[in-house]
């Protein structure tokens, strides 16, 4: 069987029987026509937009002025956007852990932002999201674990894989997968490798898993798949698409490797077919 798909068609996606089309992430200096964008300076969730792209086939674009939220700015590759969080990085560290209520500086920021910081955001700012045990651990996580970077382009664009043109090369491809499909993607990431650690599940925001963690893997000669959507906040945003879904994102070089390995693999054999068709 010869591997010769048409441009940006995926035999891997067909074999997986995905409910939603894979989403390509591209870096470009050109804004696609009619692209979804956040208004400059307005809050929004990158993963909610990702869900719209996967579900409805819209094209979305983000820039340093329109990344939606601070974590999204970091996740998409627009540098350390946490410095723009109200009160700076130290307030963000408290926000992600046990809150700003115990901090004099944090309470001053809460008062300064009272005119617009309301509802759930204010609650989390004051009392914390509880995703890390302490602000100190958040600070170490940012410094040691987050591959903060600046993408070499003005825009980060999301579009369904089948919409990618022949003259475009994605940075990465993101699959929305259930447990069976995730298992298959992990197997395929390891299929032509001699070792067994070619998929990772890093702690981070949903957009950081599909963004900078996957970008970092793309710099490696042996890139790994990144399993994501272990972010509770992001899972709430995508719950409408299915409560059992995770993201599996792969640098484009690994995507091509996995595509070329479908012929002859378990994806063509009875065990897989009985699992997805049974």
For 202-256, the pLDDT digits (tens) are 999 999 999 999 999 999 999 999 999 999 999 999 999 999 999 999 999 999 9
Of 144, 171, 196, which marks where a domain is finished?
Answer: 144
Position 6 in a domain: no
Domains in the chain: how many in total? 2
Cα distances (Å, whole numbers) of residue 92 to 29, 87, 251: 30, 7, 29
pLDDT at 132: 97
Position 2 in a domain: no
133 and 165: one domain? no
pLDDT at 44: 92
Are 267 and 184 in contact by the 8 Å Cβ rule? The answer is yes
pLDDT at 42: 86
What is the average per-residue pLDDT within 193-210?
A: 97
Of 95, 114, 144, which marks where a domain is finished?
Answer: 144
What is the average per-residue pLDDT within 160-173?
A: 95
The four Cα atoms 22, 26, 30, 31 give a dihedral, to 10 degrees, of 40
pLDDT at 7: 53
Position 61 in a domain: yes
The two beta strands, 225-228 and 199-200, are parallel
Write out the residue range of the structural domain in which residue 53 sits.
11-66+150-277
Rounded to an integer, what distance in angstroms lies between the CA atom of residue 47 and that of residue 27? 17
Rounded to an integer, what distance in angstroms lies between the CA atom of residue 278 and that of residue 167? 39
Write the pLDDT tens digit of every residue in 116-159: 998 999 999 999 999 999 999 999 999 999 999 999 999 999 99
Of 128, 144, 160, which marks where a domain is finished?
Answer: 144
Rounded to an integer, what distance in angstroms lies between the CA atom of residue 169 and that of residue 24? 9
Write the pLDDT tens digit of every residue in 72-99: 999 999 999 999 999 999 999 999 999 9
Tell me the pLDDT of the chain averaged across its residues: 94
204 and 242: one domain? yes
40 and 178: one domain? yes
165 and 236: one domain? yes
- Residue 66 above 90 pLDDT? yes
What is the average per-residue pLDDT within 61-75?
A: 96
248 and 114: one domain? no
Which of 187, 211, 212, 189 lies closest to 271 in space, CA to CA?
Answer: 187
Position 19 in a domain: yes
Percentage of the chain beyond pLDDT 90 is 93
pLDDT at 3: 38
Percentage of the chain beyond pLDDT 70 is 97
57 and 156: one domain? yes
- Residue 5 above 50 pLDDT? no
Position 74 in a domain: no
Position 261 in a domain: yes
Position 175 in a domain: yes
By three-state DSSP, how is residue 57 classified?
Answer: coil
92 and 109: one domain? yes
Cα distances (Å, whole numbers) of residue 53 to 28, 78, 107: 17, 20, 38
């Amino acid at each position: 069987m010869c591997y010769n798909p048409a441009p940006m068609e995926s035999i891997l996606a067909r074999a997986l029987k995905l409910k939603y089309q894979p989403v390509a992430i591209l870096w470009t200096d050109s804004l696609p026509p009619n692209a979804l964008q956040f208004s400059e300076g307005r809050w929004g969730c990158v993963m909610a937009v990702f869900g719209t792209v996967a579900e409805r086939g819209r094209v979305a674009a983000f820039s340093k002025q329109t990344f939606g939220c601070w974590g999204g700015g970091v996740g998409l590759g627009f540098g350390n956007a946490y410095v723009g969080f109200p009160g700076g990085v130290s307030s963000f560290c408290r926000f992600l852990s046990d809150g700003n209520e115990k901090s004099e500086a944090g309470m001053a920021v809460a008062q300064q932002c009272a005119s617009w910081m309301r509802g759930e955001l204010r609650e989390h700012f004051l009392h914390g999201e509880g995703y890390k045990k302490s602000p100190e651990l958040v600070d170490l996580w940012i410094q040691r674990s987050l591959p903060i970077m600046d993408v070499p382009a003005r825009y980060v664009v999301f579009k369904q894989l089948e919409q990618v043109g022949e003259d475009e090369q994605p940075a990465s491809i993101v699959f929305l997968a259930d447990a069976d499909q995730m298992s298959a993607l992990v197997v395929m990431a390891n299929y032509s490798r001699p070792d067994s650690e070619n998929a990772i599940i890093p702690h981070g925001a949903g957009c950081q898993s599909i963004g900078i963690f996957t970008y970092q893997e793309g710099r490696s000669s042996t890139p790994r798949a990144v399993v994501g959507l272990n972010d509770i906040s992001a899972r709430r945003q995508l719950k409408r698409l299915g409560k059992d879904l995770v993201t599996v994102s792969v640098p484009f070089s690994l995507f091509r490797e996995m595509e070329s390995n479908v012929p002859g693999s378990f994806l063509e054999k009875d065990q897989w077919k009985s699992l997805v068709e049974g």
